[in-house]
Amino acid sequence: MSLNAESTAFRSALEVIRAVEPRVADAIGAELADQRESLKLIASENYASPATLLAMGNWFSDKYAEGTVGRRFYAGCQNVDTVEALAAEHAKELFGAAHAYVQPHSGIDANLVAFWAILADRVESPALKKAQVRQVNDLTEADWFALRRELGNQRMLGMSLDAGGHLTHGFRPNISGKMFDQRSYGTDPTTGLIDYDKVAEAAREFKPLILVAGYSAYPRKVNFRIMREIADSVGATFMVDMAHFAGLVAGKVFTGDFDPVPHAHIVTTTTHKSLRGPRGGMVLCGPELAGQVDRGCPMVLGGPLPHVMAAKAVALAEARRPDFAGYAQRIVDNSQALAEGLLRRGAKLVTGGTDNHLVLIDVSGYGLTGRQAEQALLDSGIVTNRNAVPQDPNGAWYTSGIRIGTPALTTRGLGTAEMDQTAELIHTVLTQTTSGESKAKYVLDPALADKVSKQASDLLTTFPLYPAVDLG
């Protein structure tokens, strides 16, 4: 029997790898097997298409390409120009953005590009005025010295980590918390929802240079029209980090006030997660910030990764197909079905439900920490991650929450009926796990863990992962 193109491609690749380092080939094969057999519920993970994966393993990896399309510091970049331009074109069309910068290696890199672009555009330092320059590449060492002194007083207002924000929104150990004089806005202690009046009050009092919206563990929509009005009221630049929900924007599930692109001055995102592309980042903005953003390399980034930009172009082209909108809607349908299934079984959910791709379970109701629950679920074939809940008494390491998401299982084809079965498996594990002698230790009957793991595997049998790929 002849093999299809996908199986031939991946089998051949593994054979070539095995000839050099068989242990790497074995690990790659084992990773596919593990992912096929477990319920992947990590909200920030997904499954890229074979075409996207294959676009990363090629000769573009051998090329340096500092600069931008048509303006490189290395010769021979004409083919890199092609794939970078294609990725940017697809991004602009997909999101309705005036400008797209597709070089960032990750979401953190994309945020750094955005921060520095805003600072370079907005800061009015004596050194800049004296030199009468505004472009980062034109600054002298003396200019930079004066600029660094002034940047220490720049202010950022972003969502707090325990309310669902991301560590790059001003969390102290992160570079964003060192670059900026930072303050956080939280959520209503009763509902867990953003209180826009409180955000406006904080903005008036703090007067930030940058107001950041976006999240990594907030299970609701954000009204970006209101957030932009708050930013405008204090003269702040409004930045949105849509890394988690970019696929819902691309699939037109989030529109109007809930689509950040028409409202934000600058938008950052990853290209994996709900967008289902390769691991990487991207920045969208208007013409006012485009020149500064395009200086991301060498301002913040090292050399671009042309092979990943090629994969971004493929994934963004896939996201422009009509069927992606249906996929994005099914992500939310599944997330809401999963939330409803958990609520019926007595689970406590932050905000009481979800509007997006993720659900946040407060596992303190089961007498567990997030770390205990995470590991017990992993023992049972259910892959999740622990996460802080608002005002978390266990902090960011042990936590009191479990974050679960539906992008990956939706890619496999699971629907709302399977989400209810998944809720039952999660509830079974959490109710049968007891706390041990520390916040990390727990007790779970291995026989029960094996039983649930088999049930999870059986549930996935009807929904094979990469069905076109047969490694033999």
Catalytic-role residue among 37, 45, 66, 333: 66
64 catalytic residue (yes or no): yes
CB-based burial label for 76 (10 Å; 0-12, 13-18, 19+) = exposed
C-alpha span between 28 and 18 (Å, rounded): 10
Catalytic residue, from 40, 273, 330, 403: name it.
273
Tell me which of 168, 269, 270, 271 is the catalytic residue.
270
Determine what percent of the chain falls in helix, strand and coil, rounding each to the nearest 5: 50, 10, 35
First to last CA, the chain: 12
**Of residues 37, 63, 64, 221, which has the active-site annotation?**
64
- Strands 99-101 vs 281-285: parallel, antiparallel or unpaired: antiparallel
Is 279 among the catalytic positions? yes
C-alpha span between 43 and 407 (Å, rounded)? 7
Per-position DSSP letters for 333-389, written without gaps between them: HHHHHHHHHHHHTT--BGGGS-SSSEEEEEGGGGT--HHHHHHHHHHTTEE-EEE--
Active site residue 241: yes
Q: Are 444 and 379 in contact (CB under 8 A)?
A: yes
Q: Is 66 a catalytic residue?
A: yes
Q: Which two tokens stand for residue 107?
A: 């979401």
Return the CA Rg of the chain. 23
Q: Residues 279, 312, 386, 412: which is the catalytic one?
A: 279
Give catalytic status of residue 63 as yes or no.
Answer: no
CA dihedral (350, 352, 356, 357) in degrees, to 10, reads 60
Contact 347, 206 (CB under 8 A): no
Bridge partners of residue 434, in order along the sequence: 443
What length is written for the chain? 472
Backbone angles phi, psi at 369, to 5 degrees: -90, 165
Burial classification of residue 463, based on how many CB atoms lie within 10 Å of its CB (0-12 exposed, 13-18 middle, 19 or more buried): middle
Instruction: Pick the catalytic residue from 6, 143, 162, 241.
Output: 241
Q: Are 308 and 105 in contact (CB under 8 A)?
A: yes
Catalytic site residue 441? no
Catalytic residues: 64, 66, 241, 270, 273, 279
